Each structure stands twice: as C-alpha cells, then as structure tokens.
C-alpha cells in the first residue's frame, strides 16, 4: 500500500511539474511532446542533439521555414516526402532546381504547397553554395552563433521555454543570413533551428533528455 501511494505521488508530481509530462514509459519529457509516438521519438533521439552535418543543418533551416505559421508535428509527418522531393536537401542539387521544379512542388500534396517557401528553399540552397565558397563549411559558419552563457536563463522550466522565442545570437544569425540573401530566416525561426540542432539545450530541467544533449 505504501509503495502504491509513493508511486502515485511520484507520477502526480511529475505531471504537475512546470513544462514536464510523464510518458507511458514513466519517463519525464518536455510537455510539448504530448503522447504522439512520432513526436516522442523525435524528442528523444533528435531534438536538441548537437549536429555538425551540413546537409542536415540545411534541411533543418528549410523545414523551420516551412513550419512558420504551422506546428512542427505537421512538418515532421511530411518530412520523409519533403526529403524525397527536395533531393534529400542536398545543397548543390536543390540549388539547380528550376521553375519546372517549383511547378512540380506547388502541386505536390505531400509537402506544404506554399510557393514562397518552396522558392525560398531553392534560393537558400543557392545562397548556401555562395556562403560555402566564401566562408567554408556551412556547419562551421552556423556554429559561430552558439549563444554565450550570458544569453541563457539560470533556470530552465516550462514557463521559461514559453517566453524564450529568440536571443541576440539568433537575431545576429538572422541578420547575417538575410544580408547574404537568405529568406524565411527570421530570428524566431533561427532560434527554433538552434534548439533543434543542439546549439542550445532547451530540454527543460527534469526531462530525461536534458543531460544527454549538453554541449558544454
């Protein structure tokens, strides 16, 4: 009886903790994950884990742009098809897309059929090729913008996460990319990108993945 009471109290405390949710497997996760298995897998194995893969980083910038005004789960469910029709987000391949590709993509129900975002992805691939020619590897350039400790909160709970939509470093990255001709790379979009690729660790305190995604 005592064991049952302690377990019930523990689960209740986890569920009520700011920014946390208890999964069916009794693991504590960031509350935004909910119960969707696809979202849980993304949270546990990908979101917030540092990546230095140029193709993947370019993909994330593009998909964060497609997400604007939508939920990430919408993009996540379509990601495999996005990869199929955008040449697996190979920067040089996408940079060679033509108007015919835009027409093909605008009528494809497997992606977000937003002409501006489709054209932005092609444009950004061309700008990425230029950036690589002048600055070197894309990961090296992007990782220059890791926010310093002064831009990070002392505590990291649910209320903090909800208010943390951009930081000075994401604004600087946004401005630099826009100056180079990139589009759909606003400071909020760039902060979401930083969260996703592990440039910041925004798993809330108590989340089962927070320690696994530390970069410092």
**pTM greater than 0.85:** yes
Please give the pLDDT value at position 196: 96
* Closest among 141, 142, 206, 195 to 165, alpha carbons compared: 195
Q: Pick 54-196's CATH classification: 1.10.340.30, 3.40.190.10, 3.90.1300.10, 3.30.9.30.
A: 1.10.340.30
Handedness of CA 190, 98, 78, 84 (dihedral sign): negative
Residue 113 · residue 137 · CB < 8 Å: no
SS3 category, 21: strand
Q: Token pair of 59, please?
A: 């993909």
pLDDT band of 214, cuts 50, 70, 90: low
Q: Where are the domains of the chain?
A: 54-196
Sequence-separated (6 or more) residues with CB below 8 Å from residue 20: 14, 28, 29, 30, 31, 158, 204, 206, 207
pLDDT band of 10, cuts 50, 70, 90: very low
How many residues make up the chain in this entry? 216
pLDDT per residue as tens digits for the range 72-118: 999 999 999 999 999 999 999 999 999 999 999 999 999 999 999 99
Q: Cα 211 to chain center, whole Å?
A: 18
| Residues labelled catalytic | 42, 64, 72
pLDDT per residue as tens digits for the range 129-183: 999 999 999 999 999 999 999 999 888 888 888 888 999 999 999 999 999 999 9
Sequence-separated (6 or more) residues with CB below 8 Å from residue 130: 180, 181
Please give the pLDDT value at position 159: 84
């Amino acid at each position: 009886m005592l064991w049952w009471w302690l377990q019930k109290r523990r689960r209740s405390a986890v569920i009520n903790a700011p920014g946390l949710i208890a999964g069916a497997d009794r693991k504590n996760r960031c509350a935004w994950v909910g119960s969707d298995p696809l979202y849980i897998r993304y949270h546990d194995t990908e979101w917030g884990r540092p990546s230095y893969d140029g193709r993947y980083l370019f993909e994330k910038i593009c998909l964060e742009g497609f997400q604007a005004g939508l939920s990430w789960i919408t993009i996540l469910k379509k990601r495999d098809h996005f990869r199929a029709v955008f040449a697996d987000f190979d920067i040089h391949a996408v940079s060679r897309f033509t108007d015919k590709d835009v027409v093909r993509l605008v009528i494809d129900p497997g992606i977000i059929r937003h002409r501006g975002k489709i054209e932005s992805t092609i444009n950004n691939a061309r700008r990425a090729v230029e950036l690589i020619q002048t600055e070197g590897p894309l990961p090296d350039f992007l990782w220059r913008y890791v926010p310093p400790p002064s831009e990070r909160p002392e505590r990291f709970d649910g209320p903090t996460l909800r208010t943390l939509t951009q930081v000075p470093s994401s604004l600087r990255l946004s401005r630099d990319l826009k100056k180079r001709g990139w589009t759909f790379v606003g400071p909020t979009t760039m902060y979401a990108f930083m969260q996703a690729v592990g440039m910041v660790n925004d798993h809330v305190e108590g989340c089962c993945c927070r320690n696994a995604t530390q970069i410092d």
